[in-house]
């Protein structure tokens, strides 16, 4: 509860059950129980847990490893369910780990004295009739001890729950204010008709907020109410500014499709996503502040202390760098930087896309080191052109004959002019490239080739609108982004 408002592992298990149960059964249950269905299932899972814990307690009479195995199995089920949730990451496993540790401690604390009493009893029985000393008194002590410890553990559990809720409170309140926000001038972006190719399995051109990749160094993401947010524009400016959220959203709202990309995206990776962003042009704000001669960078600072350095030029030229307040027509999700983040077409996230942004300091690259550039990553971070095969999916079997390939390609701010595929190292074949009507996003592509039965490899490359062909030379993501052609293996089988 402290870390995230995601539902508990118990709810995750319930959702996994709902997913695994055949559709017909779920439908009947919904008709029968309505909205009571899910809470009922939660109760059922909790009851099953209580029964399993009682059983584990009994097993602990004979050995510690038996209940240990029971606990590990329970934790594994929880972990699998948690990871199956949309957008789950390793951090979401923490509650399961804490739970496992808590169970183990509770078991030891509760069962230890009972085991000791049983041992004494067994020894007494060995000594024969009358050798037991004062067994009734011993039993009373043990029982009292058990009740006392159980009571203490319960009280401790309740205290932690109350503490967790109060710490999570801030986040819940921010979620609530976010839910109620109405932003003038923010519209739902309509996907351009020609942005889509005719192949279902290609990554959707618009990435839904829930499916958008997440990268941040903060373990607990900042929960900032719009009323508490301000942005300071400082450094080499004539008039330092401090802007409130109300000031910001009262300004003219610009909107555009921009594909964000992470520098850590491997060739063929999925740390890339496309959204409709709404916000205020940074160039206008910087002009208002009056940028001084000699500056070449803006050091951005997040509420969580994370920093990045952005070339000043990228924030003042006509590419449309913005302080975004909405993503796909909705106020930014908290994980994506609510209430305000930066979006700069053409630059990797680590040098530009500051979430929970609080300060823009106009400065010189020579005068500071940002979070990642201090760790060996490149200073400027322009996005390198890239292309990816989505279809056929990895290791797929397709009917031999004419096979359709599909995927995405991007070269933000320059634009994608052409995409080509080659099967088994053969000649490059032109793909059909969709036209989203902007150069700041990825494009979808489809291609066809005749393929015989057997194992094959398809690779893809793109050419940008300046005529530059994507290099096949492989480079690692460190220090400034991966290069190389993406390949997919597949098998063609008898049609």
Ligand X SMILES: Nc1nc2c(c(=O)[nH]1)N[C@H]1C(S)=C(S)[C@@H](COP(=O)(O)O)O[C@H]1N2
Which residue ranges make up the site for ligand X (CB under 6 A)? Answer: 212-217, 260, 262, 302, 304, 306, 336, 349-350, 353-356
Shortest Cβ distance from residue 41 to ligand X (Å)? 32
**Strand 454-464, strand 416-423: pairing:** antiparallel
Of 370 and 422, which CB lies nearer to Mo ion in the complex structure? Answer: 370
Question: Mind giving me the DSSP string for 406-445?
Answer: EEEEE-TTT-EEEEEEEETT---EEPEE---S-SSS-EEE
Residue 421's region, left for phi above 0, alpha for psi from -120 to 50, else beta, is beta
Q: Report, in Å, the least distance between residue 373 CB and Mo ion.
A: 13
355 binds, among ligand X, Mo ion, none (CB under 5 to 8 A by kind): ligand X
> Measured from the CB atom, is 186 or 370 closer to ligand X?
370
Minimum CB–partner distance for residue 114 and ligand X (Å): 49
Shortest Å distance, C-beta 109 to ligand X: 40
Q: How far is the CB of 215 from Mo ion (least distance, A)?
A: 5
Q: According to the binding rule CB under 5 A, does residue 215 interact with Mo ion?
A: yes
Strands (E), 6-151: none
Residue 315 to residue 321: CA distance in whole angstroms = 5
Which of 226, 349, 381, 481: binder of Mo ion (CB under 5 A)? 349
Instruction: Please pick, from the candidates 350, 377, 442, 445, the single residue that binds Mo ion as defined by CB under 5 A.
Output: 350
Rounded least distance, CB 481 to ligand X, Å: 11
Between 11 and 477, name the residue whose CB sits nearer to ligand X. 477
Site string for Mo ion, 59-88 (x = CB under 5 A): ------------------------------
The residue number with the shortest CB distance to Mo ion is 262
Dihedral in degrees, nearest 10, Cα atoms 235, 237, 239, 242:
-50
C-beta of 275: minimal distance to ligand X in Å?
9
Spatial CB neighbours of 239, under 8 Å, sequence gap ≥ 6: 288, 289, 290
C-alpha to C-alpha distance for 413 and 207, rounded to whole angstroms: 19
Beta-strand pair 230-235/357-363: parallel
Given ligand X, Mo ion, none, residue 356, with its beta carbon under 5 to 8 Å by kind, binds ligand X
Residue closer to ligand X by CB (options 320, 333) is 333
- Binder of residue 216, out of ligand X, Mo ion, none (CB less than 5 to 8 A by kind): ligand X
How far is residue 60's CA from residue 23's CA, in Å, rounded to a whole number? 39
Q: How far is the CB of 234 from ligand X (least distance, A)?
A: 18
Compute the distance between CA of residue 411 and CA of residue 431 in angstroms, rounded to an integer.
16
By beta carbon distance, the residue nearest ligand X is: 349
Residue 242 DSSP SS3? strand
Helix (H) or strand (E) holding 405: strand 401-410
Pick 70 or 340: Cβ nearer ligand X: 340
C-beta of residue 264 within 8 angstroms of C-beta of residue 326: no
Among Mo ion, ligand X, none, the one that 336 touches (CB under a kind-dependent 5 to 8 A) is ligand X
Nearer to ligand X (CB atom), residue 103 or residue 350 = 350
Q: Are 303 and 337 in contact (CB under 8 A)?
A: no
Task: Pick between residue 295 and residue 314 the one whose CB is nearest to Mo ion.
Answer: 314
Contact 358, 231 (CB under 8 A): yes
Q: Which tokens in the block code for residue 215?
A: 């990268």
Q: Choosing among ligand X, Mo ion, none, which partner's interface includes residue 485 (Cβ < 5 to 8 Å by kind)?
A: none
Spell out, one character per residue from 242 to 281, where the chain touches Mo ion: x when CB under 5 A holds, - when not: --------------------x-------------------
Phi and psi at 166, nearest 5°, equal: -70, -35
For helices 9-20 and 65-83, angle between their N-to-C axes, nearest 10 degrees: 70
> Tokens 């760790």 correspond to what residue?
375
**Please, what is the minimum distance in Å from the beta carbon of residue 14 to Mo ion?**
34
Residue 174 touches which member of ligand X, Mo ion, none, C-beta under 5-8 Å by kind: none
Q: Which spans of this chain sit near Mo ion (rule: CB under 5 A)?
A: 215, 262, 349-350
């Amino acid at each position: 509860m402290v870390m995230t408002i995601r539902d508990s592992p118990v709810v995750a298990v319930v959702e996994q059950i709902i997913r695994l149960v055949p559709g017909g059964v779920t439908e009947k249950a919904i008709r029968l129980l309505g909205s009571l269905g899910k809470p009922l299932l939660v109760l059922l899972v909790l009851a099953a847990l209580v029964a399993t814990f009682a059983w584990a307690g009994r097993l602990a009479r004979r050995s510690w490893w038996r209940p240990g195995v029971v606990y590990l199995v329970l934790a594994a089920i929880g972990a699998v369910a948690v990871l199956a949730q949309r957008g789950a990451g390793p951090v979401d496993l923490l509650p399961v780990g804490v739970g496992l540790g808590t169970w183990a401690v509770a078991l030891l604390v509760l069962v230890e004295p009972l085991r000791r009493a049983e041992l004494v009893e067994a020894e007494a029985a060995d000594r024969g009739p009358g050798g037991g000393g004062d067994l009734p008194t011993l039993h009373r002590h043990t029982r009292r001890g058990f009740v006392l410890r159980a009571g203490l553990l319960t009280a401790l559990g309740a205290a932690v729950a109350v503490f967790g809720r109060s710490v999570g409170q801030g986040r819940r309140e921010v979620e609530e204010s976010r839910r109620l926000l109405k932003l003038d001038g923010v519209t739902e972006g309509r996907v351009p008709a020609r942005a889509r190719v005719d192949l279902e399995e290609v990554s959707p051109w618009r990435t839904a907020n829930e499916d958008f990749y997440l990268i941040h160094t903060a373990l607990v993401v900042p929960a900032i109410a719009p009323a508490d947010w301000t942005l300071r524009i400082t450094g080499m400016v004539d008039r330092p500014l401090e802007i409130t959220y109300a000031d910001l959203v009262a300004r003219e709202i610009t909107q555009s499709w921009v594909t964000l990309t992470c520098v850590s995206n491997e060739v063929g990776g999925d740390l890339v996503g496309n959204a409709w962003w709404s916000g205020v042009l940074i160039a206008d704000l910087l002009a208002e502040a009056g940028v001084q001669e000699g500056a070449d960078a803006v050091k951005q600072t997040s509420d969580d202390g994370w920093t990045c350095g952005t070339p000043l030029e990228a924030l003042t030229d006509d590419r449309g760098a913005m302080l975004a307040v909405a993503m796909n027509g909705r106020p930014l999700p908290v994980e994506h930087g609510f209430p305000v983040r930066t979006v700069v077409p053409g630059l990797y996230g680590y040098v530009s896309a500051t979430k929970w942004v609080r300060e823009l300091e106009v400065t010189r690259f020579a005068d500071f080191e940002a979070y990642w550039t201090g760790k060996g990553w490149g200073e400027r971070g322009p996005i390198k052109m890239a292309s990816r095969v989505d279809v056929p999916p990895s290791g797929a079997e397709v009917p031999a004959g004419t096979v359709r390939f599909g995927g995405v390609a991007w070269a933000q701010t320059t634009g994608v002019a052409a995409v080509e595929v080659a099967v088994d190292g053969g000649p490059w074949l032109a793909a059909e490239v969709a036209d989203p009507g902007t150069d700041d996003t990825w494009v979808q592509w489809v291609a066809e080739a005749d393929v015989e039965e057997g194992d094959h490899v398809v690779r893809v490359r793109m050419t940008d609108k300046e005529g530059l062909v994507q290099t096949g030379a492989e480079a690692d993501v460190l220090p400034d982004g991966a290069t190389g052609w993406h390949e997919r293996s597949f098998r063609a089988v008898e049609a």
